[in-house]
A and B are shown apart, each in its own frame.
Chain A
Amino acid sequence: MSLLEVKNLRVTFDTETGRVEAVRGVSFSLGHERLGIVGESGSGKTMTGRSVLRLVRPPGRIEADAMTFDGQDILHASEREMRALRGKRIGMVMQDPKYSLNPVMTVGRQLTEGLRLRDGLGRADATAKAIAALEAVQIRDPARVMEAYPHELSGGMGQRVMIAMMLIPEPELLIADEPTSALDVTVQAEVLAILDGLVRDRGMGLIFISHDLRLVARFCDRVLVMHKGLVVEEIEAAHLMEAQHPYTRGLLNCLPRIGGPRAPLPVLDRAGF
């Protein structure tokens, strides 16, 4: 049975200038696998990810024919039931750790807070578990990082801490929204490797949201390509190069390549779809 089932998801915003449809009928199902959602800004990929946790702020509205997580209806679940899911069974990693970590609390306190409040662990147990989580994301001196404030960490380090924090409750599904976009390429590769290892070892489901088609293809099993709130193509990552839809092809081709020709880059024909 699939872990997450989404049928005909729609997200709409009522604004001064009229109704904006951010997501216009997206359906997918996810097992214990790595699903990539790719699209450019405004494609609705972030909103799709947030909808699963029902984290769309008013005036945004979520509608769907069905949305179930592990058999549980999350479309009609109460706010209380959603809180029990968020973080604990479904984790989320955002793009920029700078805005996701509390700047006035040490990393250690943020990591252990949930453990102590939710799971009722003692200080020593919680600290041990937090240090283990930091080690799992390959932070070399976890004791020092525990004492640090978020601003004392580099971008890559901060993102690792975020991932560690999300992994402590051992969620069954992790939603990663552009988790490496703010990072340098060499760090990016490391963070992805960590994420990948964790998904494999723990058998988590992963939704990996990114604007970078090639990155997603390398990292995921299956890719949804989104454009203007719709899924234009769903494809096995291994066969991405044989993508049929002109939008997917356009996205693949418009990136410059090292050693590529100096001719003008192919440009998406936006009128085509």
Chain B
Amino acid sequence: MSTLRAWLSDPNPASRRQARLGQAWLAWQRIRRNRLAMAGLVIVGILLLVAAFAPLIAPHDPLVQDLSRRLLPPGTPGNLLGTDDFGRDILSRIIYGARITLYIVALVAVTAPVIGLLIGTVAGYFGGWIDATLMRLTDIFLAFPRLILALALVAVLGPGIENAVLAIALTAWPPYARVARAETLTVRSSDYIAAIRLQGASAPRIIAGHVVPMCLPSVIIRVTLDMAGVILIAAGLGFLGLGVLPPTPEWGLMISSGRKYLFEQWWVATMPGLAIFIVSLGFNLLGDGLRDVLDPRSASR
């Protein structure tokens, strides 16, 4: 253990891999000192574990209905968080719902930022009419409310979870493009870009190798902070019958089905709401922590 630590913190790494792992280790050390970020990381970690081991953890099948036990309050023996209007166990549905939430979040997280980064860095690096064209395109996407745009896309593509994800990703990239472009504009005029340009590097090489690594931190931070919104849009689509379809235990869908009982049986909507709240909080805390760790301006410290 101590030899590994020495290897990681070696000021004179012997290979590229050691240098990179050493930097990652340093970042980890920094994030460990940030208590809120660690709280966020723990929440996201629990979400991952719960999703992975859902069948082992869940006390009931999330889909089995038992109308004799409908709308039981939290604390009922056997139904820790109560049951919904079909007598399904809310705790089990939340546990299985974590899988769907994670699936949506993961798919959006690998598609939207990539599109956004590409468009943003290209626009920022070249400037001129390329910038104008790409940014007006971005503006068009930004001009529509996200949910409406996602709705239109799902209406064309057809309902279902993959299409919902695709619709969300296609509506989620403009902010990333904006962030990446802003970052590129500051990086573009820096001396190290001038130096590599002077070495005869081509534009794709500069963008991919020199500009993107500088934009990545702010985009990653933005992605983690956006995750709460993604979960909510997915829920909204499900509610309108265009995303995840019932009886799949999706958190947003659960809230909308509990809406009818909000005053008498408050727990039906509140429990999945709390789940969304906690997971969103987790992503937000993590995003704030990552900002402190990844921000290039703090790297020199």
Q: How many residues of B contact A (CB 8 A)?
A: 4
Interface membership of B17, Cβ < 8 A: no
CA distance A16 to B26 in the complex (A): 9
CA distance A16 to B299 in the complex (A): 13
Residues of B within 8 A of A16 (CB): 26, 29-30, 33
Output the least CB separation between A42 and chain B (Å). Answer: 14
Interface string of A159-202 (1 = CB under 8 A from B): 00000000000000000000000000000000000000000000
- Chain B residues within 8 Å of A, Cβ to Cβ: 26, 29-30, 33
Residues of A within 8 A of B33 (CB): 16
CA distance A16 to B9 in the complex (A): 12
Interface string of A1-34 (1 = CB under 8 A from B): 0000000000000001000000000000000000
Closest to A16 in B: B29
CA distance A192 to B187 in the complex (A): 36
Interface size class of A (residues with CB under 8 A): under 10
Closest to B32 in A: A16
Residues of A within 8 A of B26 (CB): 16
Output the least CB separation between B30 and chain A (Å). Answer: 7
CA distance A16 to B33 in the complex (A): 9
Output the least CB separation between A99 and chain B (Å). Answer: 15
CA distance A48 to B26 in the complex (A): 30
CA distance A217 to B29 in the complex (A): 45
Interface string of A57-101 (1 = CB under 8 A from B): 000000000000000000000000000000000000000000000
CA distance A158 to B29 in the complex (A): 42
Output the least CB separation between A81 and chain B (Å). Answer: 31
Output the least CB separation between A22 and chain B (Å). Answer: 14
Output the least CB separation between A15 and chain B (Å). Answer: 8
Q: List 4 A-B contacts (CB under 8 A).
A: A16-B26, A16-B29, A16-B30, A16-B33
CA distance A16 to B292 in the complex (A): 14
CA distance A16 to B32 in the complex (A): 11
Closest to A15 in B: B301
CA distance A16 to B29 in the complex (A): 8
Output the least CB separation between A236 and chain B (Å). Answer: 39
Output the least CB separation between B282 and chain A (Å). Answer: 24
Output the least CB separation between B140 and chain A (Å). Answer: 33
Instruction: Kindly list the 4 A-B residue pairs having the minimum CB-CB distance in the complex, ordered from nearest.
Output: A16-B29, A16-B30, A16-B33, A16-B26
Output the least CB separation between B73 and chain A (Å). Answer: 49
Closest to B9 in A: A17
CA distance A214 to B29 in the complex (A): 44
Residues of A within 8 A of B29 (CB): 16
Residues of A within 8 A of B30 (CB): 16
CA distance A16 to B25 in the complex (A): 12
Output the least CB separation between A127 and chain B (Å). Answer: 38
